[in-house]
Amino acid sequence: MTQAERRPLLQIIVASTRPGRIGDPIARWFADYARASEGFEVEIVDLADVDLPMFAEPEHPRLGRYTLDSTKAFSATVARADAFAIVHPEYNHSYNAALKNALDHLNQEWAGKPVALIGYGGVAAGARAAEALLPVLLALRMVPVAATVPIPFAAKHVSGEGDARTFDPAPETEAGAKAALDGITEWLGTLGLRGAR
């Protein structure tokens, strides 16, 4: 299969690692939405499962000379992706430490790849966290798509218990998801990868 024939891999990163987080059902909803477009292979990367230690590599990540097995495994995972969607909460007007730690662990693996932000929270819908994330993503040479998916009062749209919880998006959230996927697809087109159309 040639590069042009294969479907690009979209990794959906669940940023929150807290027990009871609602990022998990939101990520599963977005994964199903992206799969339904039939333009992507989709994989969820849950930072709670990745379980990275606080960054402790002796050399700068841009060199790719990793010493820890956890970093090597995370590098191999992220390197597979063609694009990302980050499902992130907002903590104290910013994004969470587990996400910053994950981003800081790598360098080349992120570069040149489009990324959509799916923020959730209360009235601000993760917007301040998304704003804080942007300079970090740009420093890593990622390509944030213009369309974001802000989810206000997200907990009100989650029902069920445990792993069976589901997220029921408002119409404007679905519209944001479509715009974000379109933005990813447009950028992937410039890389010669077929996206969701």
What tens digit of pLDDT does each residue of 114-126 get? 999 999 999 989 9
pLDDT at 197 over 60: no
Q: Read off the pTM.
A: 0.93
Average pLDDT, the chain: 93
- pLDDT value of residue 194: 56
What residue has token string 């599963």? 28
pLDDT at 87 over 80: yes
pLDDT tens column, 99-109 = 999 999 999 99
Cβ-contact 87, 120 below 8 angstroms: yes
Tokens of 127: 């917007």
The share of the chain scoring above pLDDT 70, in percent, equals 95
| Count of C-beta atoms within a 10 Å radius of residue 152 | 18
| Kind of pairing between the strands at 9-14 and 41-46 | parallel
pLDDT tens column, 7-33 = 999 999 999 999 999 999 999 999 999
Cβ-contact 155, 22 below 8 angstroms: yes
- pLDDT value of residue 195: 46
